[in-house]
Amino acid sequence: MRDVNATKDLHAQRFHQAPAMFAAPGRVNLIGEHTDYAQGFVMPAAIDFATLAAISPRDDGSIIIASENFHEEVTHKLTALPKEAAHHWSDYPLGVLNILRSVGVELPGFSLTLSGDVPLNAGLSSSASVEVATIVAVLSLTAAEIPLPEMAKLCQRAENEFVGASTGIMDQFIACCGAEDHALLLDCRSLSFRLAPIPPDISIVISNSMVKHSHAGGEYNIRRAEVEQGTQIIHRHRPEVGFLRDATLEDLKQWGSEMPPSVLKRTRHIITEDLRTVAAADALEAGDLKTLGRLMYEAHASYRDDFEASCKEADILVKLAAKEPGCIGARLTGGGFGGCTVNLVEREYTAGFIESLRKGYREATGIEADIYNCHASAGAHRIGN
Ligand code: GAF
């Protein structure tokens, strides 16, 4: 649910206090997959699905976090906050509280209501939107002044250290710093970024394969470990390569034979994906949509064949999209192993594109895809006063 007034009213009824309201968006990544933890480049956009946070202070030394989506609430004394994940939706907000405390923020008592419409386990970054909504809401009750990029880093730590998923910085960063009508090219080493306008005659169509994706453990962490193995092998020969961001195709030629075949492929994906991502940002800025689209298809092929992070349903969606008039480019977006494909489509073709894609996917798989015509949106913000 993402009705600001409804969430506000529910919070007020439950906790007898008018809340302050915040929102943090989900994201779609246009290109640059698994490059963030290799200190490379990514180009996501925030989308118009978001987590809402309604917050009000409490003076009884406790915190209550209610989830409208899960119809549950958890209560903890500030003196006894859980220190470990419980494989529960509350791990994400509790992880943020733990990290805030670890950097010296004095936590206040509060009641927090979370609600939202970011599809779950769809690779659209619902977890980061919950973390970021929590951090902006909780910090509003404190004197701490933390800039948005720093908040992103703290939320990433919550996910890495508390939830146990070794994710990079992309999702939390775009949830904090996204901008309306823009994609964001992020240098994941320096955290400097540039905003690239999405032309008004282009739609961002997201098609949900309905194959569930999750990265609290599992394949995501395995890929990350393989990427680290590839890095180590190159590092042995070229100590200045601490991350694959610094490696080149020439390194792969020289030292690739020392890598197990799967590690060689993962490493190749990261090195080539970084090149594609920077080229894609240049193409978007230059209005060269043909090149942008070609890079998206190439990125999908690399994600499928070298990173082996696609699934047959996503491959079908991309293949179907590529045949449609007005489709500029398509690829699997996000952490992989299910979730959504992102399609850039000429606006005048969008309605027909969505209809044909839904039909083609149903015929090929028997699955009814959810398809969203999204809009690049702003990062985390307060709603109202
Ligand atoms: C997930 C992670 F959370 C990101 O950090 C990123 O690695 C992405 O997968 C893959 O590009 O969304």
Q: Let me know if residue 382 belongs to a domain.
A: no
* Same domain for 139 and 109: yes
**Contact 31 CB / ligand 1 (< 6 Å):** no
Q: Let me know if residue 37 belongs to a domain.
A: yes
Rounded to a whole number of angstroms, the CA Rg of the chain reads 21
* Same domain for 352 and 256: yes
pTM: 0.97
Establish whether this prediction's ipTM goes over 0.95. yes
* Same domain for 276 and 169: no
Q: Let me know if residue 266 belongs to a domain.
A: yes
Q: What is the pLDDT of residue 216?
A: 46
Q: Which atom of ligand 1 is nearest to the CA of 169?
A: 5
**Contact 274 CB / ligand 1 (< 6 Å):** no
**Contact 34 CB / ligand 1 (< 6 Å):** yes
* Same domain for 44 and 123: yes
**Contact 40 CB / ligand 1 (< 6 Å):** no
Q: Which of 144, 174, 198 is the last residue of a domain?
A: 198
Q: Which amino acid is at 239?
A: P
Report the C-alpha gap between 209 and 224 in whole angstroms.
24
Closest C-alpha to 326, from 356, 296, 295, 349: 349
Q: Let me know if residue 384 belongs to a domain.
A: no
Q: Which of 173, 198, 223 is the last residue of a domain?
A: 198
* Same domain for 239 and 178: no
Q: Which atom of ligand 1 is nearest to the CA of 35?
A: 11
**Ligand 1 pocket test, candidate residues 220, 224, 300, most atoms within 8 A of CB:** 220
* Full residue range of the structural domain in which residue 263 is found: 202-374
* Same domain for 77 and 133: yes
Q: Let me know if residue 207 belongs to a domain.
A: yes
Q: What is the total count of domains within the chain?
A: 2
**Contact 273 CB / ligand 1 (< 6 Å):** no
Q: For residue 79, report the distance from its CA to the centre of ligand 1, in Å.
A: 33
Whichever domain contains 226, its CATH number is 3.30.70.890
Q: What is the pLDDT of residue 378?
A: 98
* Same domain for 280 and 231: yes
Report the C-alpha gap between 81 and 98 in whole angstroms.
8
* Same domain for 208 and 178: no
Q: Let me know if residue 175 belongs to a domain.
A: yes
Q: Which atom of ligand 1 is nearest to the CA of 220?
A: 9
Q: Which of 198, 232, 248 is the last residue of a domain?
A: 198
* Same domain for 189 and 127: yes
**Contact 246 CB / ligand 1 (< 6 Å):** no
Q: Let me know if residue 77 belongs to a domain.
A: yes
* Active-site residue, 171 included: yes
* Same domain for 17 and 105: yes
* Same domain for 63 and 119: yes
**Ligand 1 pocket test, candidate residues 34, 224, 243, 277, most atoms within 8 A of CB:** 34
Q: What is the pLDDT of residue 218?
A: 82
What does residue 350 show for φ and ψ, rounded to 5 degrees? -60, -45
372 labelled ligand-binding: no
125 labelled ligand-binding: no
Q: What is the pLDDT of residue 212?
A: 86
Q: Let me know if residue 105 belongs to a domain.
A: yes
Q: What is the pLDDT of residue 215?
A: 56
Inter-CA distances, 278 with 42, 247, 283, 303, Å: 8, 15, 9, 17
Whichever domain contains 189, its CATH number is 3.30.230.10
Please give the chain's pLDDT, 385 residues, in tens.
479 999 999 999 999 999 999 999 999 999 999 999 999 999 999 999 999 999 999 999 999 999 999 999 999 999 999 999 999 999 999 999 999 999 999 999 999 999 999 999 899 999 999 999 999 999 999 999 999 999 999 999 999 999 998 899 999 999 999 999 999 999 999 999 999 999 999 999 999 999 987 654 588 989 999 999 999 999 999 999 999 999 999 999 999 999 999 999 999 999 999 999 999 999 999 999 999 999 999 999 999 999 999 999 999 999 999 999 999 999 999 999 999 999 999 999 999 999 999 999 999 999 999 999 999 999 999 999 7
* Same domain for 90 and 31: yes
Beta-carbon contacts of residue 261 (< 8 Å; ≥ 6 apart): none
